[in-house]
Amino acid sequence: MNFRIPSMLALLALPAITIAAPAPATGELAAVQHHLQSVETMTAAFSQTDRSGKVLTGVLTLKKPGKIRFQYEKGVPILIVGDGHALTFIDYSVKQVQRWPIGNSPLAVLIDPTRVTRVAKVVPTPDPQMVSVEANDPKHPEYGRMTLFFQRSAGAPGGLMLQGWISVDSQNNMTKIRLSNQRFNAAVSDRTFLWNDPRRNSPKN
């Protein structure tokens, strides 16, 4: 099976925006920040669709501070893990490992809510039950952009439920992530974020 690595990386490789001091969040942006601050752990099923319409599924696990894991469905030799310092992309089919500072991805917003006011703005949505937030740097369009979607839900942390996001990279490759079966603030072992290095076949974190 041919896996389009650039499309996979569209959900990761969007460099961060560096602004010295964040302004206080207000309105719906404050609600998004409050939701993210209220989430210590999250697990969810995800469905990933690339620009060609290829769909892959898997399980997303998040744990603060800084840990995230995209475990793809059986048969997909790809793993993405964040250990609090870096995001690691592992392709077991070719024994390839790539790493980026976790701050060089808008996914950092999910695990560091203080970044919300630095990189994000609320964008209009026709559905009053939805809140959309876009992260991008207008001074650097080559960085791409990411739009996160939240649904209002009284039973979710902070009254919002992350539904997924759309990432567009500098080559205009679009990747859509849709979440389901979200579960919050249950115990998650740090061992969840270990991975086997195909170059040495030894556990890493």
- Condensed to tens digits (0 to 9), the pLDDT of residues 38-72 reads 999 999 999 999 989 999 999 999 999 889 999 99
Question: Where does the pLDDT of residue 142 fall: very low under 50, low under 70, confident under 90, or very high at 90 and above?
Answer: low
**Is pLDDT above 60 for 22?**
no
DSSP 52: T
Kindly give the residue spans of alpha helices, DSSP state H, lying in 64-124: 108-111, 116-119
126, 36 contact by CB (below 8 A)? no
Tell the residue number behind the tokens 């250990």, with chain if given: 83
pLDDT in tens, 79-118: 999 987 888 999 999 999 999 877 666 677 777 777 777 7
State phi, psi for 154 to the nearest 5 degrees.
-60, -30
Cis upstream peptide for 141 (omega within 30°): no
Query: Residue 6: its pLDDT value, please?
Result: 41
Handedness of CA 83, 86, 92, 97 (dihedral sign): negative
- Rounded to 5°, the CA angle 104-109-110 comes to 120
What value does the mean pLDDT of the chain take?
A: 82
Q: Is the pLDDT higher at 185 or at 25?
A: 185
CATH class of the domain whose range is 5-15+28-186: mainly beta
Q: Is 198 left (phi over 0), alpha (psi -120 to 50) or beta?
A: alpha
For residues 181-196, give the mean pLDDT. 95
Cα 148 to Cα 113: distance, rounded to the nearest angstrom: 13
